[in-house]
Structure 1
Amino acid sequence: MNKVPLTVRGAEQLREELERLKRVERPRVIEAISEARAHGDLKENAEYHAAREQQGFIEGRIADLEGKLSNAEIIDVTKLPATGKVMFGTTVLVLEIDKDEEHRFIIVGEDEADIKRGMISISSPIARSLIGKSEGDQAVVDAPGGAREFEILEVLYE
């Protein structure tokens, strides 16, 4: 299976969620199942069925997180040579030329992407157009609303 890129921060967040699910959520739902069982007839026990369903979601998410972490290639951008090129993990300050607006993007893995926080997936059209470019370069992104043109103002390895 292919390794999936993940930033150090992204891997940390996945590990924290995994730990919380194993140490807090899993024991809580097991307790809820135990309590619901004590109420008798399981066929018509909505609390029991809801707890079992929740247990299924928790176990599925645990397996999902363990799989993602085992296939992750954790990249610490601060340890990469600062070549000035946009790559996975870098923070890019750009000027959207048509709108005269500055944006700050951090190029991250699929599971870390959060557009509200400026974290864009490496597979997104914007990230794909910026990868490999340097400060002063321009990138054109074919967006649903038409082409968007960016000028790279700064590339940070933070």
Structure 2
Amino acid sequence: MNKIPLTVRGAEQLRAELQRLRSVERPNVIAAIAEARSHGDLSENAEYDAAKERQSFIEGRIAEVESKLSHAQIIDPAQLDADGRCVFGATVDLEDLESGDSVTYQIVGDDEADIKLGKISIGSPISRALIGKYAGDVAEVQAPGGIREYEVLDVKYI
């Protein structure tokens, strides 16, 4: 399996989620299954079915997070030395050439992406267009509404 790029913060978030799933969610669902079993006939017990479904989801998520962490390539943006180039973990200031709007994005792993926090996935069209660019370069992004152009104003490793 390929390495999964994660920032240090993203790896910490996955570890925290794994800890919560193992220590809180798993015991809660086991207790819910035991409670539902005590109600008798399992064939017509909706609570039991819901608890078993929840257990399946939790166990699947635990396996998924463990797999991601075991295949993670953890990158600390503060330790990067990419000579001002856009790379994974970089924080990039952009200007939309059409509207003049300025935005700041950090290029992160798929699990860390949250546009509201200014974090975009390495697999997103805008990230793919930015990778390898320097301050002053123009990136063309294929967006649903057509091609958009962004000028790279600054690249930081924070």
Superposed pair shares fold, TM > 0.5: yes
Measured in 2, the distance between the counterparts of 1:88 and 1:18 equals 24
Q: CA deviation at 1:65?
A: 0.6
Measured in 2, the distance between the counterparts of 1:44 and 1:141 equals 53
Residue 111 of structure 1: SS of its match in structure 2? coil
Aligned 1:28-107 pairs, distance under 5 A: 28-107=28-107
Measured in 2, the distance between the counterparts of 1:139 and 1:11 equals 29
State, as a whole percentage, how many aligned pairs show the same letter.
63
Comparing 52-61 with 37-46, which one deviates more in the overlay?
37-46
Give the TM-score normalised by the residue count of structure 1: 0.96
1:110 matches 2:103: no
**1:50-94 Cα shifts (integer Å, max 9, x gaps):** 111110110011011111111110101111115111100000001
1:157 matches 2:157: yes
**1:14-60 Cα shifts (integer Å, max 9, x gaps):** 11111101000000010111111111111111111111111011001
Residue 86 of structure 1: SS of its match in structure 2? coil
Residue 99 of structure 1: SS of its match in structure 2? coil
Give the CA RMSD over aligned residues.
Answer: 1.0
| Displaced runs of 4 or more, over 4 A | none
Q: CA deviation at 1:140?
A: 1.2
Q: CA deviation at 1:116?
A: 2.0
Give the TM-score normalised by the residue count of structure 2: 0.96
| Number of aligned residues | 158
Q: CA deviation at 1:123?
A: 1.6
Measured in 2, the distance between the counterparts of 1:123 and 1:35 equals 43
Q: Name the counterpart of 1:119.
A: 119
- Structure 1: tracts of 5 or more residues without a match: none
